[in-house]
Chain A
């Protein structure tokens, strides 16, 4: 059974810092991995999707990497801003078009 773990559960940083969020999964036979952002009381916003054949994806200040063999992904946020404060969720899909399996998320707080 696929399990997804995110460490740390919470993170506080001053504005301007670069930071890394970690995601690990137990079954390396994933189809793709997706990173989401969730603001309090809201739904999820898709940030990046990495296909199983890819090593990384970039969007603006965000860079996500994938090491399938070791069952790990990282989300790198450059030059953090207070507006980046949210919960970041990692999710994997084991087959095309099927359900996502989520971690519990990392709650990020960026202070000005």
Chain B
């Protein structure tokens, strides 16, 4: 399997701008998760897709955040009107949907810096 691919690796933007990140899953992985990680902390769950359906959203996912997974393949995470507190590493993970005890496999993340 090729791994989970995330793009871009780094994004620097000014406060108030919109940003969009992309995640390409491992082939045939129909579960896709977004997490956010700040320095010295473990990743925190944002949202989860099974195929194209968004099944769960964390309270961390404010109205400025939106995620999509059209056709159940790649996913995008958009942050509108970015704030300083949005600076973090955004991680995507995917897993197989067949069989419940499937490990989540992570990409290398997108590091977002808000100026």
B104 lies within 8 A of chain A by Cβ: yes
B40 within 8 A of A: yes
Q: How many residues of A contact B (CB 8 A)?
A: 25
Q: Is the CB of B41 within 8 A of A104?
A: yes
Interchain nearest-CB distance for B38 vs A (Å):
10
Task: Check if B104 sits within 8 Å of A100, measured CB to CB.
Answer: yes
User: Which residues does chain A contribute within 8 Å of B75, judged by CB atoms?
Assistant: none
Complex-state Cα separation, A100 to B35, whole angstroms: 9
The yes or no answer to A12 lying at the interface (CB within 8 A) is: no
Stretch from A14-22, A37-45, A61-69, A75-83 at the B interface: A37-45
User: Given the known A-B contacts A97-B31, A99-B56, are A44 and B101 also in contact in the complex, defined by CB atoms under 8 Å?
Assistant: no
Write out the residue numbers on chain A whose beta carbons fall within 8 Å of the beta carbon of B6.
43
Chain B residues 76-97 with CB under 8 Å of chain A are 91, 93, 95, 97
Please give, as numbers and ranges, the residues of chain B lying within 8 Å of A103 by CB-CB distance.
42
In the complex formed, the residue of A with least CB distance to B47 is: A99
A-B interface pairs (CB < 8 A), number = 64
Cβ A34 vs Cβ B42 within 8 A:
no
Q: Which of B4, B33, B100 interacts with A99 by CB under 8 Å?
A: B33
A91 interfacial contact with B, CB 8 Å: yes
Contact yes or no, B48 A99, CB < 8 A: yes
A51→B100 CA distance, assembly (Å) = 10
Is residue B15 contacting chain A, with contact meaning CB distance below 8 A?
no
One of B50, B97, B101 near A49 (C-beta < 8 A): B101
Using an 8 Å CB-CB cutoff, how does the interface string of A6-27 with B read, 1 for contact, 0 for none? 0000000000000000000000
Give the 8 A-B CB pairs with smallest separation, nearest first: A102-B42, A99-B45, A96-B100, A44-B106, A43-B106, A43-B108, A46-B103, A49-B103
Additional A-B contact list (4), CB under 8 Å, known A43-B91, A89-B43, A91-B42: A4-B42, A97-B97, A97-B100, A102-B42
| A contact set with B: CB distance below 8 Å | 4, 31-32, 34, 36, 41-46, 49, 51, 89, 91, 96-105
